Amino acid sequence: MDTVLYGLSPQQQEDRASFAAFVDDHLVPEADRWDREQQLPDSIVELLGKSRLLVPTLPIEAGGSAMDVETYGLLSEELGRGCGNIRNLVAVQGMVAHAILKWGTKEQADRWVPRIGTGETVGAFALTEPEAGSDARNGSMTAERIGAGYVLNGRKKWMSFGQRAGIFLVFARLEDEPAAFVVERGTDGFRTEPISGLLGLRASELAELTFDGCVVPESHLISRGRLTFDLLATGSLDYGRYSTAYGSVGLAQACLTASLEYTRERTQFGVPLRDHQLVRRMLTDMISSVEAARLLCRQAGVLRARHHKDAIRQTLIAKYVASRAGFAAANDAVQLHGANGIGPDFPVQRHLRDAKVQEIIEGTSQIQQLQIAELTL
């Protein structure tokens, strides 16, 4: 990729090269194994924390590196190229940490945000419920005031890293208004149950959460009122959506690179696969979609950096196009690899499974079709 064509500054080009080297050294060799084992080792979480890449957009004093939003996009792309689970981990930690930093009190931020930023503990974003996925605004989990605290009752499902998280940002209805609480692992009345056997992002350690008379102190209330959903929840999802968009580009790039190498080396009917016209058509479609999706992500990043009023819509468009491009590229990559594409020795089968998940998380493609139209028409 010629970074000049994407308007990258010399510093951004240097950062991107550093991210690529980190991914090649630490993620690419292990990603298939993590997928098979359906979990991440503690060592990679610790390494990300020590490298200030776990929540790089946090201030330095909070465990981040004060990374700007455009550079964060480049990091997300490289992480997505190497391992979708790590890209997801970094996105979720950012969603939780920034929500507490922005909407919590100084005491709450000082207590929890650095622990997430440094990797001392992992955060989970608990919004989705068994009966409320895309319609998360109408979740049924409740919170009631009791004395100097709140009692939580209900269930959450599909929580990324819910198996290992020590801090959960939990959304519930308090006096018929949305509210957000921090619940720490080990709190009485709170338990987690692992979810395994997923199609993709298998090492994202998903869990179902049950709150049965779970009491938290008043100091664990982060926000309440209409803006809790309209700004806190949707803002966090927007942060994750931007990461998913760029991560999908990285995944598509991994599939393109693998396909170019495989079709150059694999010979059928006396010539390399890439010399067959139908194969070249598939490669051309893949090349074009990767380039187009990357440009949309760059545009979204520039607008986000400028706090432009169209940044949210452009991020929706980038995620919609990039996640679909990622799945199409992975699907074609498996096809080009033939029987090898569905075997355990080539990562394109993992990319295909992960790509389908990325069309669902942070807003399904169908929900985004509605949102993009609503913000445009």
Positions annotated as catalytic residues are 362
Q: Are strands 177-184 and 167-174 parallel, antiparallel or unpaired?
A: antiparallel
Give me the sign of the Cα torsion angle 152, 240, 101, 20: positive
Burial classification of residue 170, based on how many CB atoms lie within 10 Å of its CB (0-12 exposed, 13-18 middle, 19 or more buried) = buried
Best CA proximity match to 273, nearest among 345, 329, 332: 332
CB within 8 Å of 316: residues ≥ 6 apart: 241, 363, 368, 371, 372, 375
Amino acid letter, 9: S
Classify the phi-psi angles of 176: left when phi > 0, otherwise alpha if psi is within -120 to 50, otherwise beta: left
What residue has token string 């997505």? 80
- Measuring CA to CA, how many Å separate 66 from each of 52, 90, 117, 240? 9, 15, 11, 17
How far from the centroid of its chain's Cα atoms is residue 204's Cα? 10
**DSSP code per residue over 159-217:** ETTTTT-SEEEEEEEETTEEEEEEEETT-TTEEEEE----SS-GGG--EEEEEEEEEEE
Token digits of residue 181: 């609480």
Q: In this structure, what DSSP letter does residue 150 have?
A: E
Residue 100: other Cβ atoms inside 10 A: 23
Answer yes or no: are the C-beta atoms of 194 and 180 closer than 8 Å: no
What residue has token string 């395994």? 196
Best CA proximity match to 278, nearest among 334, 335, 348: 335
